[in-house]
Amino acid sequence: MDNYKIADSFSLLAKLMDIHGENSFKSKSYASAAFAIENLTVQLADISPEKISSLKGIGASSAQKISELLEFGQIKILDELIKKTPPGVLEMLNIKGIGPKKIHTIWKEMEIESVGELLYACKENRLKLYKGFGEKTQQNVIDTIEFYFKNKGSHLYAQVALVAPHMKSFIETIFPKKQVSVTGNFKRQMEVIDELEFLIEAGEKDIENSMVNVEGFTLKEKNETGFIFSTSVGVDVKLYWAGTENFTEKLILTSSSDSFNEAFTSFIKDPIKNAADEQAYFDTAGIMFIPAPLRHEAGVLDRAKNGQVPSLIRPEDIKGIIHCHSNWSDGSNTIEQMAGAAMDRGLEYLVLSDHSKSAFYAQGLTEERIREQHLYIDELNEKLKPFKIFKSIESDILNDGNLDYSNEVLATFDLVIASVHSNLKMTEEKAMMRLLKAIENPYTTILGHMTGRLLLSRPGYPVDHIKIIDACAANQVVIELNAHPNRLDIDWRHIGYALEKNVLISIDPDSHHTDGLDDTMYGVLTAQKAMVTKQHNLSSFNLDEFENYISNRKKLKNI
């Protein structure tokens, strides 16, 4: 073992002690030992233990640990500390700009245990509220984490969506006059993407030869269907080859899941050549068109055979913004700016739902602030007519399942979104108790981000989707499809059952700034995968329909 390896162990030991909030005198002595070891001119492995403790900058305790390391290959207390640290917290050490002491605060005070969760907290402006974390640190952390993620394998759909059109144009310049189509998981609108896939009207050899020496592309793998490249933009790219006559067929097959593929090919039997486009292909096959986002499960084929594939919801079917935050709680913009941005997008209303009082980290609203906000919204509504701002709140679902205010206060809102933000680490039993109690509360109109998951960084708390959906059906509660690209929660795989039970979905951006309103689109793309139509979605109701819906519901609930 060389000195660098030994120094690394000491440096990690010092950092972990700080992360765990242990004696800082000790951690400092290990940090300075690490520094001293790195600068030694002799290799520690070559000298006797007695000599080690006499070296400058290395105390008795460090010397003993060096011997331990040289003899057993590990330091016991370092090993124990590693075991006691969640992997996501260890991973934070890779983020430049946040030292171990800050990680201690992030982990122990903010209860954040992964890098992705940390990024999300920064974007919600939560970091800067803690001592030692200013606006500038927060921005640095965002930049560093985004860079870090870019260099790891998986990406959110929204991140890949930014790259995809440019990548397509670039590939088209390499294969001029040939068809190039985006395909694979991206075409199928999956929430997480590992490779950005393209189908190219070119032969295997042609692709191989054309891609040699293309700057920014490094061949990672070649298999029987295509080539996978790592690229300088951070997303791996897969290229499939296809001939002219089977291009459309390959486009359909490469954009399908394995199980859909299998069922579809056995239905088609003989290949269909020279189909002008995907629609023409399905026409020739004699079944209704199945759009790419639905090419997931074999069951959709039966619907297509019976002509029962519904018209999927489209981004232009959104009529209002439900669920957004202003600078009254943790948003970046004023209420008027949020409303203006919604009007600019041609929308008819905005449901303002700032955080409730228990969400202290997000400056949740006290009863007094709610009264003030409602008066202000009345004023704005006079000014902005016929556009309308609805009075709402994103009420925390408290630990015992209660909402965050008395019924008198809850009654002053047009509608209430109930969400879990605290004590996310819980058993299914506990989660179900909290959620079911909130759903049964007559004031709960919408159940917000059902599992609290953050894609690529935090799994949701465990829930029984069937029971929750049944409860929402019984209590006329709408289920949010939170459209933030990190959340997309409720998972689209469970929406089918909600629709079966006539539960409304609400595609909500949960935006904390004006640009965030556009996230609604990611919710729409995800909803398409679950065959959601505009009739199933609350935010597709126009102003009149929406007003009727909430007033009828209040009557029904006698509130």
Binding site for Zn ion (CB under 5 A): 394, 419, 510
Q: How many helices (H) and strands (E) does the chain have?
A: 24, 14
CA 235/CA 156 separation, integer angstroms: 11
CA 552/CA 559 separation, integer angstroms: 10
Tell me which amino acid residue 248 is: T
CA 379/CA 259 separation, integer angstroms: 55
Tell me which amino acid residue 240 is: Y
Q: State which residue, 190 or 450, has the beta carbon closest to Zn ion.
A: 450
Q: State which residue, 254 or 333, has the beta carbon closest to Zn ion.
A: 333
The strand pairing partners of 447, in sequence order, are: 418, 479
Q: State which residue, 373 or 419, has the beta carbon closest to Zn ion.
A: 419
Structure tokens at 474: 């019984």
Taking the complex as a whole, the smallest distance from the CB of residue 394 to Zn ion amounts, in Å, to 5
Q: State which residue, 95 or 455, has the beta carbon closest to Zn ion.
A: 455
CA 195/CA 551 separation, integer angstroms: 47
Taking the complex as a whole, the smallest distance from the CB of residue 370 to Zn ion amounts, in Å, to 16
Dihedral over alpha carbons 130, 133, 134, 138 (to 10 degrees):
-110
Q: State which residue, 404 or 510, has the beta carbon closest to Zn ion.
A: 510
Closest-CA residue to 395 (of 435, 357, 442): 357
- Contacts of residue 176, defined as CB under 8 A and 6 or more positions apart, other chains included, come to none
CA 193/CA 486 separation, integer angstroms: 13
Q: State which residue, 236 or 394, has the beta carbon closest to Zn ion.
A: 394
Q: State which residue, 63 or 318, has the beta carbon closest to Zn ion.
A: 318
Taking the complex as a whole, the smallest distance from the CB of residue 419 to Zn ion amounts, in Å, to 4
In sign, the C-alpha dihedral spanning 527, 528, 530, 535 is: positive
Structure tokens at 190: 């999956």
For the chain, the straight-line distance linking the first and the last C-alpha, in angstroms and rounded, comes to 72
Taking the complex as a whole, the smallest distance from the CB of residue 83 to Zn ion amounts, in Å, to 33
Taking the complex as a whole, the smallest distance from the CB of residue 355 to Zn ion amounts, in Å, to 7
